[in-house]
Amino acid sequence: MIVQVLQIIAAVATILTGLFSLLKPEAITSFTGLRPEGGRGITEIRAVLGGFFIALGAVPLIVNSPVAYLMLGVAYLVVALIRGIFMFVDKSVLQSNVISLIVEIVFGIILVIPL
């Protein structure tokens, strides 16, 4: 029961991240380091960090399938793996990257726990 609630929270947080990126693309600049250049850059943030995150979080809630939650968890863990490696390669061990890494690992673990 508690795992299900945590999984739903992770999915909803994913959707909220997407909605924030969709509606306020310029506001994520300070946290992500991304700098949208003109309309094309803003559209890219809205599409990828907005739309993609909304879909990733919504599908598990809509289909209510353990496999969908597993997919979201694996996605978070892969992002965490890549981030963890390239934080050192790219010399970007910054507070915002560390926070993102921790959230990705925690959400990933919560989401891959079988029900």
Q: What percent of the chain has pLDDT over 70?
A: 100
CB of 58 closer than 8 Å to CB of 15: yes
Q: Of 76, 36, 39, whose CA–CA distance to 84 is shortest? A: 76
> Is the pLDDT reported for residue 83 higher than 80?
yes
Average pLDDT of every residue of the chain:
94
pLDDT at 60: 97
Which long-range contacts link 84-93 to residues 24+ away (Cβ below 8 Å)? Answer: 92/33
> Is the pLDDT reported for residue 115 higher than 90?
no
Q: Please give the helix or strand (H or E) that residue 10 lies within, else none.
A: helix 2-23
Give the pLDDT confidence of 27-55 residue by residue, as tens digits. 888 878 888 888 898 999 999 999 999 99
> Is the pLDDT reported for residue 93 higher than 90?
yes
Residue 90 corresponds to which tokens in the numbers above?
């790219």
Give the pLDDT confidence of 15-24 residue by residue, as tens digits. 999 999 999 9
Q: Please give the helix or strand (H or E) that residue 110 lies within, else none.
A: helix 95-112
Please, where are the H alpha helices in 24-94? 29-32, 38-44, 53-63, 66-89
CA–CA distances in Å: residue 6 to residues 66, 73, 81, 105: 13, 12, 21, 14
Residue 103's pLDDT band (boundaries 50, 70, 90)? very high
Does pTM top 0.95 for this prediction?
A: no
